[in-house]
Amino acid sequence: MNYFLALSSGQISILIGLLILVVIPMLLAVIDILKSDFSDNDKSKWLLIVFFTNIFGVLMYYFYGRNEKNSFK
């Protein structure tokens, strides 16, 4: 059975909108984590947090994790 077709167009657009609101910030956070330099195992820690806690992990990274990056001056 194809349950996806049982959804109305409004429900499908809400699902797509929610998917975009979750996936795009997660991808941006993962890209930023991979391109950044962290000390010790902080890069792995932040990747696991972002993957397993979804939007909460992304918010935690943007508020706390970005301050943990190594800066080269």
The tokens for 11 are 């429900």
> What pLDDT score was predicted for residue 72?
58
| Position 69 in a domain | yes
| Position 45 in a domain | yes
What is the rounded CA–CA span in Å between residue 70 and residue 19? 32
- Cα dihedral value 38, 43, 30, 71, nearest 10: 0
> What pLDDT score was predicted for residue 24?
92
| Position 41 in a domain | yes
The tokens for 17 are 């909108």
> What pLDDT score was predicted for residue 5?
66
Predicted TM-score (pTM) of the model is: 0.75
| Position 11 in a domain | no
Using the CB atoms, write b or e for 39-52: b if 16+ within 10 Å: eeebbeebbebbee
What are the tens digits of pLDDT across the range 7-57? 788 888 998 998 899 899 999 999 999 998 888 788 999 999 999 998 999
What are the tens digits of pLDDT across the range 48-58? 999 999 899 99
| Position 16 in a domain | no
| Position 10 in a domain | no
Domain span at residue 36?
Answer: 25-73
Q: Match 């194809």 to its residue by tokens.
A: 2
The one-letter amino acid code at 17 reads: G
